[in-house]
Structures are given as C-alpha cells and as structure tokens.
Amino acid sequence: MPGARGTQILLERERELALIDQTLDAAAEGRGSTMLVRGPAGIGKSELLSAASLRAAGRGFETLRARGGEFERSFAFGIARQLFAAHLEDADQRAALLQGAAGLAGPALFVEEAGTDDGAAVSMGDPAAPIQHGLHWLVANLAEGAPLLIAVDDVQWADLESARWLVYLARRMTDLPVLLLTAIRDGEPALGADVISALEEESGSHALRPEPLSQVATVDLVRFELGAGADEEFCAAAHRAAGGNPLYLRELIAAARDADLAPVAESATKLEDLRPEGISRSVLVRIARLGAEASATAQVVAILGDGTSLQRVARLSGLEPDEVAVTAEGLVRAGILAGAETLDFAHPLIRSAVYGEIAPGKRAVMHSRAAQLLVADEASAVGSEQGSNWGSKLSESEDSEGDPEPPVQAQSNLSRTASPGLWSRWSPVRVRSLTPHWRPRSGGASSEGRSGGAEPGSSL
C-alpha cells in the first residue's frame, strides 16, 4: 500500500505526496515555497504534515514544528516560540543564531507571555515589523545549516501575531531553502479570514484539499484493520457511515473491534448503529464552539432528519430563518452539515453523535413537537381532514409504548407532498421521528429493511 507511515496507512494521497516531494526537492535547491493543507476535521491534514516531515528527513531537511492550540491563541508569537524553542535553549547556539538582524526577534522569543486579551489585535503595524524581520532572519540563519521544513499544524488556532508572521515569511520564501507547510481546519471561528486567505494566496497551486476516501480505499482500510475476509456489505456500510472521512472510519473500526463485531454482512446494520466515543466528542466540541444557535440547529436537524428545510428548523428551534441560515453556513464550513439549503449532516455518524447527546426527556418533547409541526405542514399542504386526523393519532401515539401500526396514512400524505427524492431517502427516519414508539412488526418489515436500532429518530 502506498505511503505507509509507522503502523498507519496513508491511502489515496498520492497526488498530495507527489506535490510535497516536488516542493521539497525545489526547496533543497534553494527555491522555497509555501504549501497549505485545508479541510474538515479528520480528513488527514496532520497525517500529511507527518508524512512530509518523514520525507523531508529522508532528504536531509531539518523540521521545525509547531501547532496552534485553542487555548493558547492569546500568547503573542507562541507559534514562533514553539518553532525555535529547541534551537534557543543552548546559550552559545542562541547567540550564534540571533546574530545580526535576527536579533530583532528577541522580544518575541524571550518576552514573558506577552499576550493579548482575546487573541485579537496586537497592532501588526510598525511595532511588529522589526520582529517579523528578525524572525525571518532567524529562519535564514537556520537554513544555512540544512534545508528547513517549517510545519505548522492547526493554524486556525495560531496566535494572530505568529499567523501574520507566517504570511510575511510566505511572501519572502522564494530564495530560501525552506518549505513552509501549514494546515488549517475548515470552519473554526478563530483566526481572521484575511490571514487564512493570504496564506492560501501565497500557496497558489500548492493549496491542498485532501478528498474523502473512496469506497475502494475504505474497503482496503477495513480489511487491513479487521482482516482480509471482511465482507463487502460490511465495508459498504462502513463507507456509508464514515463518508470517506479517515478519522471517522478509523474510530468506527475501533468501535467495531471493541464491540467484538465480526466484519460479516450480518453486522452491517449494527455497524451503522455504533456511536464511537471519539467521534461524538470531537463533533460535539466543534458544534459547541460555534455557539448555542449551532447546537440548537444541529439538534433540531437530528430530530427532523436529513433533507429538512431551513424554515422547518427555524420553527422547531425558535430561531429566526435568517439566524438558521447563517448558523447552517457555519455548520457546513465546520464539516458538520453537508449542505445549508436542505439541511443534511455530513455523515450519519455526526447525526448519531448529535442525536445521542440530546437528553431523553428533551428528545421526547422535540419529537412530539416535530410531529405536530410536520402534521400541520402536511395538513395545510394536502388541505384535507385526513392530515389533522392523523396528527391527533400521532400525538396519542406519543404516550403509548409500541404503536402497533405503521403510519400508512402518514406515508401516503407525505409521499404526495414531499419531493420524491426526499421521501424515498428519509421515509423510515421521518416516520420514526413522527412516531418514535413505532417499530416494524418484525425485523425487515420497515421500508429500509432494518429493525429499530439505536439510530436517530428510532430510539425512544
């Protein structure tokens, strides 16, 4: 398999690795450049940075590494300090490196945590210019010893001063034996968009966007991890659930292993019902960072099911449609939702994580309100008595354990009014969100051939 790294396997990244090789070779010859890896959480940005540093070591480069930290953004030049720390510990080496113009970097590297309150704003006008100049010279001095790979991960959380210096450096790289490689996660409401787009601009054609893994790669990874005999249907279920996101796929595989789930066809539905801890944690933290509206919107989408409209989410969440639209865009940027017009989660596992986080009592209330809302919508769309009769039936079913009948009328009402694609994709979940207690009479009786598992909309 291509690109093995330690015990991890790097699949379908040939194009990115070839470009990394090319830019390293050019840098070794004194033609430095900047690369930027962008993408959603878990797509494999850090893994590419690690692969680059291995490839750089093989070519005699020295790697300077740093990583933005969510809670360290207020420490001015924190990233710069991380990059150079190892070289500045020894007094003799420090004195040698800080000779000449590089000495101007001193205040950034040695001043005690000269932080700003909120990560915004030390003026990067004149006062910072000498420091940027000094740091640039520090890089140049270091590069005299060996070509450099400067790898900065999670730039979205970099302190503003360092981020601006990275842009400054990126603009002055062309005659240095240096590759500046940065990674930025999409949709994090931290670093100013101006800095990110400046870095993107400086990277030009070297701005990388790793793609989700294909089904073929998913099959390879599942079989590599769980055994060559892993069934095709099981692998296909893993691909549907993880949507090609390597992090989600690896978490899912780990969860399957923990649950002693044999990779056979019969386990496919159980796989989709797994709710890997690691994914839930990462997803919920990312949503929480986007604010209370984002959490409310995501929860409502988890209740209503994919393909729901902004208006419906607004009505159920109590937010204004405009607020939902803005919030949904943020969720799309953060890789939580796939589309902001009809609201779909980017992966079923994300939906599962959000759904699982809603407290059972709140979930029941939300399902009940969702049922009333959908019924009201359908009744007014169909303009028939049937709709409202069905509505009261559904409300009654909220109180009964295990409503024995599937809501046939509900299906027929919705199928007449909703777009065909939407209904055919989400009918089982939608029906369950309307009648959370309903279960098919026997496994396989539901239209998607699954008996009620712990999936969103089915677990009340």
Ligand X SMILES: Nc1ncnc2c1ncn2[C@@H]1O[C@H](COP(=O)(O)OP(=O)(O)OP(=O)(O)O)[C@@H](O)[C@H]1O
Choose from Mg ion, ligand X, none: what does 457 bind? Cβ within 5-8 Å by kind.
none
Q: Which tokens is 377 given?
A: 């919508």
- When asked if residue 409 is in the footprint of Mg ion (CB under 5 A), the reply is no
From candidates 55, 136, 250, 312, binder to ligand X by CB under 6 A: 250
From candidates 8, 74, 372, 451, binder to ligand X by CB under 6 A: 8
- When asked if residue 116 is in the footprint of Mg ion (CB under 5 A), the reply is no
- When asked if residue 8 is in the footprint of Mg ion (CB under 5 A), the reply is no
Q: Which tokens is 167 given?
A: 């842009």
- When asked if residue 206 is in the footprint of ligand X (CB under 6 A), the reply is no
From candidates 9, 17, 26, 46, binder to Mg ion by CB under 5 A: 46
- When asked if residue 222 is in the footprint of ligand X (CB under 6 A), the reply is no
| Stretch binding ligand X (CB under 6 A), from 45-53, 77-85, 260-268, 336-344 | 45-53
Rg (CA), the chain: 26
Size of the site for Mg ion (CB under 5 A): 2
- When asked if residue 300 is in the footprint of ligand X (CB under 6 A), the reply is no
Q: Which tokens is 14 given?
A: 């040939």
CA dist 376 and 391 (Å) reads 8
Q: Which residues contact 53 (CB under 8 A, 6 or more apart)?
A: 63, 65, 149, 151
| Stretch binding ligand X (CB under 6 A), from 28-36, 43-51, 76-84, 140-148 | 43-51
Q: Which of residues 174-193 bind ligand X (CB under 6 A)?
A: 185
From candidates 32, 42, 177, 305, binder to ligand X by CB under 6 A: 42
- When asked if residue 330 is in the footprint of ligand X (CB under 6 A), the reply is no
Cβ 130 vs Cβ 136: under 8 Å? no
Choose from ligand X, Mg ion, none: what does 44 bind? Cβ within 5-8 Å by kind.
ligand X
Q: Kindly tell me which of 42 and 307 has the beta carbon lying closer to ligand X.
A: 42
- When asked if residue 46 is in the footprint of ligand X (CB under 6 A), the reply is yes
Angle (nearest 5°) at CA 218 between 335 and 276: 55
CA dist 85 and 394 (Å) reads 64
The residue whose Cβ lies closest to ligand X is: 44
From candidates 38, 45, 315, 437, binder to ligand X by CB under 6 A: 45
Q: Kindly tell me which of 47 and 159 has the beta carbon lying closer to Mg ion.
A: 47
The residues of the shown chain that bind ligand X, judged by CB under 6 A, are: 8-13, 39, 41-47, 185, 221, 246-247, 250
